[in-house]
Structure 1
């Protein structure tokens, strides 16, 4: 459309302005820039699918004025160079602003693009300084990080950042204006109090995307200010649970000393295992696995990460240590990511966990049930307050699907109107849930906290059940399989063995047949923290050269 309006200067404008911009950004980012150009100009309700129509409407009055159109393209090209500094912060000349842009780039996503581009417009226009813009971007990072840790809903997040360029106060420094804007009541920037509580109780391991979880742990590690910091760009680190996801009896014995009345070690484990206080970064994930704490201490003590050395210096690892570490990390988090103006939790506002509880019950398919403990693990609470909430809010949709740990209807369950309509058991049976003669629901139809989290769209990684080289792998059978494969299929053997090694690295393991031709089965436990579910996608036969695919998996 632009070049239709430039019959005389089109070729020159294309060669001098448009083509360099297109080559530096690429087609996708160029399209994104044209949308951001609209947003930063104040068209904050424009969808990306409406770019052509909206830009056409904006440029139509300039038809016939090639000078004006050329200036528009020059401004877009200039904004394109700023956008390049956002997507590739190495292009930013100011060290302090480059650092802020790098952190948001590491966080990932495009949510912050409109506000970041607006701030670079202000810097290049001389309206603000790089230092002021960097401070403003620090508030953006804090806003995103705090919301993720507190598991605040992401609904409307893009809209908030699209509104920012138009709504920021212009009579204040940019950083102050951004902080005031994000502190608005409806924008839900968690306070210090909410952040501390979330770090203690929320299942952080289910928050956001894996790179964002790793980023938060990395920033916390960097806050120690080590004289020999880890090069995170080169280090291959992943998130590790100190208290394992699938603990051995030794771990449960340790937790049994710290349970509350009517709480099992398993319930205590479920409340602690995914919280930030129990997580760290390590390159030795496979070695640590579900080993006893004494073994983990030895490995973590040799780590270059200060947070791991700190963990290794403790004598044991249970509830008290996890909560103590959570409190220490919370203080670091408060300093790293400053909160909203005022910094207090809005009064009279419902705790976000209850909204998550309601969403989970609505998402549950017919024919399933869950427990008070599973809901507590999901929302970062305790079975007792979960029961109290459902008891005092009996109109919550699907409340009848929440049963005791035994799978029975709670004796305290009541309908809101006090009526004698169908009991929860009768309703569940009507949906297909099976009960035994003692009134216990079939455990295979239960949804665990991890499964509920998946229903809510959380990025839940199932824990691997076995070490990459489990003790149970039959070394003699493995050698027979390898020898037969290399004898009969020498050209394919390296590829097959490499694929099996990769399978082990993903958390799987391998078993072997007992017949003369030693078949091989890559195995995986795709179950939950309570229920194993073994699958094997194929069987490999090293003599006949056959691979049987198991389509049910």
Structure 2
């Protein structure tokens, strides 16, 4: 399957969308047949020239322009050496292994006493295979056509297609592009992240683009550019890849506040958020904003996510919200503008009053995904003040909760001791009613590595383990003598206050009006 032909200095060139391995393998087999003829019939070089000039090279051209098939950059050195007959057998290569395999099989199949062996093999290779070529038109989405035809084998990603298109446009500078910009980019990001990068770049311009439009959308933009402009785009992609790598591994970030915020938003595991996070890193890289702005913007994003999960807002609207943010922010994006964007319309940036009510009444244990619930509790752990030199202050370290799980302080299954304890703390409601109402609320949850040990033990026993915990959240709970409806509601109000006040200076919202 071929893309629309691209007219270049060496004639019309086609990008192979599907069938690269088959064409490459077939070319290597023909090269092996050529060299077998040269070895077994040295006096008849016409056979050699016929195979070489018909299928492998154009003798009137120079360099890579001679090659009728040009593999991707990683395979080019080995392929060039096979076609030129200058193979370095000490260098590991799948292409060279295939060539050696075919040479061995041809020697075994060619009986010196039977002059018909090689003509029969050649006839099978050149005439016995059905060659079907599908050439796309200019307005075709070749990746979607490829997907509909190809359901087996190794999937070709849209990132692969875009890479091949860019190298075709780079022409004779393809090797330079590969070594200087593309290969370092491939080392920085996984194939899926590289494809995500091209999609993010497309979303910044066209927020309604679909995931299947990456290749067609980028090519539609790039085809209007000349070669130098295409090379500038490759350089730009390389820089974006470096920024994306920082987001994927915040330890690469030079600013402590930004690194901390990157770790926090990354822990949510929300892929659609990448569009917005990379945008703010790019703005800083372009000199439009500084480190403090990036940290504040990431904090606003995190506050948005925390408030949404607290009130139980649906997650399926997040991709659309994040995708449209960049274009909605306009030509002068700012942190205040980002917060205003989140608070306008039905984006569920919960108000302080909505957060407080939800903390006290909603079953947080069932909100969002398990890792996101842990992230909120880790966020609250960081927001829990510590006493230092007689003063309370919020900690600055990222809470590592990887070895913990969520624990219900008032257990899911009440023992007789627990039932008696709760009954003694309530007058007009049944134990079961109180249990059902408060069991899964945020205030009755914490993080611990001793989930199985705590189970439904009496609170007096739980207190001992929680008191020795390294988490401040647990030590706060252990400071109480009893645990029941009053303690849970009191803790809920404390946690709600921490959630609504954990904002950077200067980016607090306006009036506390409904935004859901």
TM class by shorter chain equals 0.5 to 0.7
Provide the C-alpha distance between the structure 2 equivalents of 1:207 and 1:311, rounded to a whole number of angstroms: 22
Counterpart among 436, 456, 461 of residue 290 in structure 1? 456
Contact 1:190 1:345 in 2 (8 A): no
Tell me if 1:25 matches 2:192: no
- For 1:253, the equivalent position in structure 2 comes to 420
Provide the C-alpha distance between the structure 2 equivalents of 1:277 and 1:310, rounded to a whole number of angstroms: 12
Provide the C-alpha distance between the structure 2 equivalents of 1:316 and 1:260, rounded to a whole number of angstroms: 16
Q: CA RMSD in A?
A: 2.2
- For 1:267, the equivalent position in structure 2 comes to 433
Deviation at 1:169, TM superposition (A): 4.0
- For 1:465, the equivalent position in structure 2 comes to none
| 1:343-422 alignment runs, 5 A limit | 343-346=511-514
Counterpart among 58, 70, 87 of residue 248 in structure 2? 87
- For 1:46, the equivalent position in structure 2 comes to 209
Tell me if 1:333 matches 2:499: yes
Provide the C-alpha distance between the structure 1 equivalents of 2:191 and 2:254, rounded to a whole number of angstroms: 25
Provide the C-alpha distance between the structure 1 equivalents of 2:254 and 2:405, rounded to a whole number of angstroms: 32
Once the two structures are superposed, residues 497-521 of structure 1 have per-residue CA deviations (whole angstroms, 9 ceiling, x without a partner) of: xxxxxxxxxxxxxxxxxxxxxxxxx
Deviation at 1:307, TM superposition (A): 2.2
Normalised to the residue count of structure 2, the TM-score between the two structures is: 0.63
The gaps in structure 2 that reach 5 residues or longer are: 1-164, 389-394
Residue 83 of structure 1 aligns to a residue in which SS?
Answer: helix
Tell me if 1:155 matches 2:321: no
Residue 119 of structure 1 aligns to a residue in which SS?
Answer: helix
Counterpart among 184, 193, 202 of residue 344 in structure 2? 184
Residue 224 of structure 2 aligns to a residue in which SS?
Answer: helix
Deviation at 1:162, TM superposition (A): 0.7
Normalised to the residue count of structure 1, the TM-score between the two structures is: 0.59
Counterpart among 221, 227, 243 of residue 66 in structure 1? 227
Deviation at 1:249, TM superposition (A): 2.2
Contact 2:247 2:278 in 1 (8 A): yes
Change (3 A) 1:235 1:102: closer
Contact 1:170 1:177 in 2 (8 A): no
Tell me if 1:320 matches 2:490: no
| 1:63-142 alignment runs, 5 A limit | 65-142=226-303
Deviation at 1:166, TM superposition (A): 1.0
Once the two structures are superposed, residues 117-152 of structure 1 have per-residue CA deviations (whole angstroms, 9 ceiling, x without a partner) of: 111111111111111121011000000111011101
Residue 236 of structure 2 aligns to a residue in which SS?
Answer: helix
The gaps in structure 1 that reach 5 residues or longer are: 350-553
- For 2:42, the equivalent position in structure 1 comes to none
- For 2:175, the equivalent position in structure 1 comes to 11
Query: How many residue pairs are counted as aligned between the two chains?
Result: 343
Deviation at 1:276, TM superposition (A): 0.9
Change (3 A) 1:267 1:166: same
- For 2:474, the equivalent position in structure 1 comes to 308
Change (3 A) 1:141 1:50: same
Deviation at 1:223, TM superposition (A): 2.0
Contact 1:141 1:337 in 2 (8 A): no
Provide the C-alpha distance between the structure 2 equivalents of 1:294 and 1:140, rounded to a whole number of angstroms: 39
| 1:208-287 alignment runs, 5 A limit | 208-226=368-386, 232-233=399-400, 236-257=403-424, 263-287=429-453
Contact 2:260 2:398 in 1 (8 A): no
Provide the C-alpha distance between the structure 1 equivalents of 2:330 and 2:341, rounded to a whole number of angstroms: 8
Contact 1:293 1:316 in 2 (8 A): yes
Provide the C-alpha distance between the structure 1 equivalents of 2:175 and 2:458, rounded to a whole number of angstroms: 71
Residue 107 of structure 1 aligns to a residue in which SS?
Answer: coil
Provide the C-alpha distance between the structure 1 equivalents of 2:495 and 2:399, rounded to a whole number of angstroms: 19
Deviation at 1:188, TM superposition (A): 1.7
- For 1:466, the equivalent position in structure 2 comes to none
Deviation at 1:318, TM superposition (A): 0.9
Once the two structures are superposed, residues 488-547 of structure 1 have per-residue CA deviations (whole angstroms, 9 ceiling, x without a partner) of: xxxxxxxxxxxxxxxxxxxxxxxxxxxxxxxxxxxxxxxxxxxxxxxxxxxxxxxxxxxx
Contact 2:412 2:439 in 1 (8 A): yes
